[in-house]
Structure 1
Amino acid sequence: MKGASLAEIKKELSHKSYDDMAELCLRLARFKKENKELLTYLLFESHNEEGYIESVKSYIDEQFELINTASYFYIRKSARKILTNTKKFIRYSQNKETEATILLYFCEKLKAFSPSIKYSTQLQNMYYRQIALIKKIVCTLHEDLQYDFNLILEDLSK
């Protein structure tokens, strides 16, 4: 089955009643975990972006605590998993300031992680890719925010 375009879906949704829309949303939430998470963000957390950022930061903290430090293989695998989930949470928000804040926090945690990432080329590459992405995002923000984020980036680049 081929999915309809967004324009077609939007046009069709404009013809639906409130009850039909609510039923469609609930049915959509049943099928995929990401859909349910997105609806949760939109309904409960989108009005409080600072609280959402703090909840994502606490998630990152918890996940870094659980990393198996037996070998760099497990560390890399866990760090990639944390980054994937973090980017998923960022996609829900679609706010560039939130994205920069969360990615900076991830990089801070990765840099401070013990054992050090300097002994793993893959972890260093992951770190530097995220720093480059943050720099790209920061360029699109307001000048005052750019200054604040650039100060943090300078500390991380040392």
Structure 2
Amino acid sequence: MSTTTYGLQHIKKEIQHLPHEQLAELLLRLARYKKENKELLAYLLFEAYDEAAFIEKVKAEAGFMFSQLPALSYHAAKGMRKILRLITKYTKFMGSKAAEIELLLNFCDNYLEYADRRTSYKPIRLILIRQVEKIRTLISKLHEDLQFDHAESYNTLLANAESKLAWFKKNDYLL
């Protein structure tokens, strides 16, 4: 026997009929089972009101993690993927494409500052390339006014990457 999985609309309708005490009890029970549920609930309760401060906190944490990257290319790539998982989790919490672009731009800036530029280890190079492509895709999905704001930062990142990395060609990634 398996339990029936209901759709989000059905669950939403059912939640609207519950009293506040029972709703609070269900939320706490849900938070008890998964760490990510607990983190999301904590974000929504304590951090969501000030998104800019939360973004700065995530940037600081990512910067610290970058400063602690090991010298070996294999371990550095693993560390960068860990930072990307953290950024992905927090952007999922915020649900804002503009915030995601800001965090990914910060990731790429940290990459240019801390990553070994002389390495020929392909996975490290691909990490930057994938993030640049992801930023370009996200910018194209934004409203025109927001696109203009982020396009300037993006173009600065491309110019900076081309000047610091011999293998990076900014013309391949222009908007």
TM-score of the alignment, normalized to the shorter chain, above 0.5? yes
Secondary structure at 2:17's aligned position in 1? coil
2:55 matched to which residue of 1? 53
2:66 matched to which residue of 1? 64
Distance 1:123 1:99, change over 3 A: same
C-alpha deviation, 1:10, in angstroms: 1.4
Q: Name the TM-score, length of structure 1 as normaliser.
A: 0.91
Aligned length: 157
1:106 matched to which residue of 2? 107
Secondary structure at 2:141's aligned position in 1? coil
2:13 matched to which residue of 1? 11
Q: Which moved more, 1:72-81 or 1:134-143?
A: 134-143
What per-residue deviation string (whole Å, max 9, x for no partner) do you get for residues 125-147 of structure 1?
A: 11111111111111222333322
Q: Any gaps of 5 or more consecutive residues in structure 1?
A: none
**C-alpha contact (below 8 Å) 2:67/2:114 kept by paired residues:** no
What per-residue deviation string (whole Å, max 9, x for no partner) do you get for residues 72-127 of structure 1?
A: 01001111111011101100000111011011101111122142275322111111
Percent of pairs with identical residues = 36
1:32 matched to which residue of 2? 34
1:139 aligns with 2:137: no
What per-residue deviation string (whole Å, max 9, x for no partner) do you get for residues 13-52 of structure 1?
A: 1221101111111111111111111111111111111011
Distance 1:117 1:99, change over 3 A: farther
User: Which one-letter code corresponds to 2:59 in the other structure?
Assistant: K
Correspondence list, 1:50-129, <5 A: 50-69=52-71, 71-116=72-117, 119-129=120-130
**Deviating runs (4+, > 4 A) in structure 1?**
none
1:43 matched to which residue of 2? 45
- Give the whole-Å Cα distance in 1 for the aligned partners of 2:118 and 2:156: 16
- Give the whole-Å Cα distance in 2 for the aligned partners of 1:35 and 1:117: 41
- Give the whole-Å Cα distance in 1 for the aligned partners of 2:149 and 2:18: 46
C-alpha deviation, 1:155, in angstroms: 2.2
- Give the whole-Å Cα distance in 2 for the aligned partners of 1:126 and 1:101: 17
**C-alpha contact (below 8 Å) 1:107/1:130 kept by paired residues:** yes
- Give the whole-Å Cα distance in 2 for the aligned partners of 1:143 and 1:113: 33
**C-alpha contact (below 8 Å) 1:96/1:141 kept by paired residues:** yes
**C-alpha contact (below 8 Å) 2:73/2:119 kept by paired residues:** no
Q: Name the TM-score, length of structure 2 as normaliser.
A: 0.83
C-alpha deviation, 1:61, in angstroms: 1.2
Bigger radius of gyration:
2
Q: Any gaps of 5 or more consecutive residues in structure 2?
A: 163-175
**C-alpha contact (below 8 Å) 1:56/1:86 kept by paired residues:** yes
- RMSD (CA atoms): 1.6
**C-alpha contact (below 8 Å) 1:110/1:117 kept by paired residues:** no
Distance 1:28 1:18, change over 3 A: same
